[in-house]
Amino acid sequence: MSMPTIRHEVAMMLSQVNTKIAEAESALAAGTLREKVNAAGDLDALRRQKQKIEARLVEVDARLETSETFLAWLKEQILNLDLQLDSLLAQRP
């Protein structure tokens, strides 16, 4: 799976958790006593899950930046080698 695909999937998971958090907050505000108790437990778990997903998203973004930096460096090195080879061939008698 490519990194942009993984990032998209993690972002979708974050969106789903945010939706569930909003639903739990709504139940906590306007539900029956049993619904409020259940929503409070769910809300705590969902907030912890959200923190983990956000941390994973930061990791994915960092890896994407590293990959792009490495690819740019690699392309630059290939171009430099090509130019050096051309220069050596031009100096050859």
Give per-residue pLDDT as tens, 1-43. 677 888 889 999 999 999 999 999 999 999 899 999 999 999 9
Average pLDDT, the chain: 87
Domain ranges of the chain: 3-91
* Whether the Cβ atoms of residue 21 and residue 64 lie closer than 8 Å to each other: no
